[in-house]
Amino acid sequence: MKIGHQELTGYLERLQKPRPADIMKLEAYAEEHGVPIMEPTGIDALLRLLSLKNPKKILEIGTAIGYSAIRMALELPEAEIFTIERDEQRYHEAIRNIQSFQLENRIHVFFGDALSESAAVQSMAPYDALFIDAAKGQYQKFFSLYEQMLADDGIIFTDNVLFKGLVAGDYDQIENKRIKKLVSKIDHFNHWLMEHPEYRTTILPVGDGLAVSQKEVKRI
């Protein structure tokens, strides 16, 4: 009997401890309004890895409604999270959600495009961890721009790098031109990332695919 990825994911989600009601309320809102947030197994893996790293300062590219930032802040009570969002409606939603969790002193939200508003973000550098979860077609640009703001022992997480498994197939067969182009960009990013001379990367098949990139240790 062959078990597929969907069945395995469902099994792992059923094994997870129940999440607090206020977190599940955020998840329900995101699903109802079509707001992309991390899948349960993906966010769980991210939080476990972050807890091992215990970063004091985290930069997130792509706030959405603040779900991931809130989860990170709750998991890491000593960490500050800096996050940037370009959609005005979601920016304001994130602010309200962060305030409802009384985390406004630890989660700082910048409004603007991450590729053009980097100066404000840079003023708070260096960051111990970077989490990229924004426009997937721009992942390589985000990585190249913001990895410069990372601490020497920093770590970078990138979500959605498997994009529903489409990167593993023959995406030339995808009829939707926009999706086909996006899958091609993500696949190109994955190869570029795995071959990056300054980082060691592994891609975890959790959620929609989570890349974990750690700076190479410079040996004297």
**Residues within the annotated binding site?**
38, 68, 85, 113-114, 133, 159-160
* Contact present, 127 and 57 (Cβ < 8 Å): yes
CA–CA separation, 149 vs 133, rounded Å?
17
CA–CA separation, 152 vs 216, rounded Å?
9
Give me the sheet containing 57-61, strands edge to edge.
107-111, 80-85, 57-61, 127-132, 150-159, 210-215, 199-204
How many CA atoms within 13 Å lie on the side-chain side of 65?
20
Binding-site residues for Mg(2+): 133, 159-160
Burial 15-39 (b: 16+ CB within 10 A, else e): eeeeeeeebeebbeebeeeebebbb
**DSSP H or E run through 153:** strand 150-159
CA–CA separation, 185 vs 140, rounded Å?
9
Q: Strand, helix or coil at 124?
A: coil
* Contact present, 118 and 82 (Cβ < 8 Å): no
Binding-site residues for S-adenosyl-L-methionine: 38, 68, 85, 113-114, 133
